[in-house]
Structure 1
Amino acid sequence: MAFSKEHKSKMLSDYENWLGKSQAVFMLEYNKMTMKDIDAFRTKVRETGSEAHIVKNTLMQLAMTNAGYKDVKKAEGTLLVGFAYNDAPGLAKVFAEASKNSDVFKMRGGYLDKQLLSVEQVKALAELPPLPVMRATLLGVLQAPASKLVRTLAEPARSMASVVKAYSDKGATQAA
């Protein structure tokens, strides 16, 4: 399908806008995809706070070069590109699951902070825990020393209270 020059420039500006907002970009080659497949895939992508678009390869390469992406490869086949705005590991997980055991989708790699990622690196990124889990783990690591200090400082008072309670219980027993 032939596009006019104005339409191509609009598409190029859209691609550059998406690239400018995204932390990571992942690419899938698709084959024999139905609208049902596309809708289901895009729903999963939206749950991660990201977007997925079918792109024109030449325009996408030009947009990536203009946006400062390194090692831009020549795109081949029909590509579905995901733009991760918040949670790059979450989007990588959606793309990795879609390409696993599927004859419709094939992972093509991606970019993280404008650096080229291989298919294996994208799959490794997909194995990272989700962002909220990582934040909770980090918070637990940061809180552990403070919690231990509070317990250490409170222990002498607890010990003293148990000694006083034992004497009071002993005195109550002797009086009876």
Structure 2
Amino acid sequence: MPSQTNVEQVARLKELLSDVSAVFVSEYRSLTVSQMTEVRAKLREAGGEMKVAKNTLMRIAMKEAGLPVVEDMTAGPNVYTVAHGDPVTVAKALLEFSKQKGNEALSIKGGVLGKKVLSAAEVEALSALPPREVLLGQLLGAIGSPLYGLVNVLSGSARMLVTCLNQIKVQKEKAATA
């Protein structure tokens, strides 16, 4: 029979996981309090939240929230980072912090993006992507490029006609003054 405290903690974790786009699992052994405070501040700026929880309780909460359970990643002292918005910016902030000198103790084990389990290499690849807004801008540029080309081609004939008429006008003016 689970204790009331554990049941409440699972409920809080399930509520935390209810509207996330990604969950990243990291080991935080040997990080100081000031380092943890620093990484939490960076993650909050990026739209994420870091939570230390018992692995068993987090597995139960993830299962109840409909997320895939990451059994092989949940050994040892883990910290769970949830992305409420863009998972790319949160992954980037997490990786940038872990690669700074002195912060190597924070090692990313993997994570969950939507319904897909990610390895540590896939989380690193995710962090290399540009943010969502930049990707949307690139997509709009790719969609708009053929339209711009079509407008340019269609307006080319009218432009050539205007240039030709202007040349005829200039020649007639020269002939009239001569």
Q: TM-score, normalised by structure 2?
A: 0.87
Q: CA RMSD in A?
A: 2.0
Counterpart of 1:66 in structure 2 is: 64
Name which of 30, 33, 36 aligns with 1:38: 36
Find the aligned partners of 2:104 and 2:136 in 1 and give their Cα distance.
35
Counterpart of 2:129 in structure 1 is: 128
Find the aligned partners of 2:9 and 2:136 in 1 and give their Cα distance.
36
- Pairwise CA distance, 1:119: 0.7
Counterpart of 1:160 in structure 2 is: 161
Gaps of 5+ in 1: none
Counterpart of 1:172 in structure 2 is: 173
- Pairwise CA distance, 1:71: 4.6
Q: Which moved more, 1:24-33 or 1:61-70?
A: 61-70
Find the aligned partners of 2:49 and 2:68 in 1 and give their Cα distance.
22
Q: Does structure 2 conserve the Cα–Cα contact (< 8 Å) formed by 1:29 and 1:107?
A: yes
Find the aligned partners of 2:69 and 2:3 in 1 and give their Cα distance.
27
Gaps of 5+ in 2: none
Q: Does structure 2 conserve the Cα–Cα contact (< 8 Å) formed by 1:31 and 1:103?
A: no
Counterpart of 2:108 in structure 1 is: 107
Q: Give the partner amino acid of 1:130.
A: P
Secondary structure at the aligned position of 2:158 is classed as: helix
Q: Does structure 2 conserve the Cα–Cα contact (< 8 Å) formed by 1:24 and 1:114?
A: no
What per-residue deviation string (whole Å, max 9, x for no partner) do you get for residues 114-159 of structure 1?
A: 3211111111111111111100000001111211121121111111
Q: TM-score, normalised by structure 1?
A: 0.88
Q: Give the partner amino acid of 1:19.
A: L
Secondary structure at the aligned position of 1:165 is classed as: helix
Counterpart of 2:94 in structure 1 is: 95
Q: Does structure 1 conserve the Cα–Cα contact (< 8 Å) formed by 2:62 and 2:69?
A: no
Find the aligned partners of 1:117 and 1:52 in 2 and give their Cα distance.
18
The number of equivalent residue pairs is: 173
Find the aligned partners of 2:69 and 2:33 in 1 and give their Cα distance.
32
Q: Give the partner amino acid of 1:30.
A: Y
Secondary structure at the aligned position of 1:107 is classed as: strand
Q: Does structure 1 conserve the Cα–Cα contact (< 8 Å) formed by 2:59 and 2:69?
A: no
Q: Does structure 1 conserve the Cα–Cα contact (< 8 Å) formed by 2:27 and 2:109?
A: yes
Q: Which moved more, 1:118-127 or 1:39-48?
A: 39-48
Find the aligned partners of 2:97 and 2:26 in 1 and give their Cα distance.
9
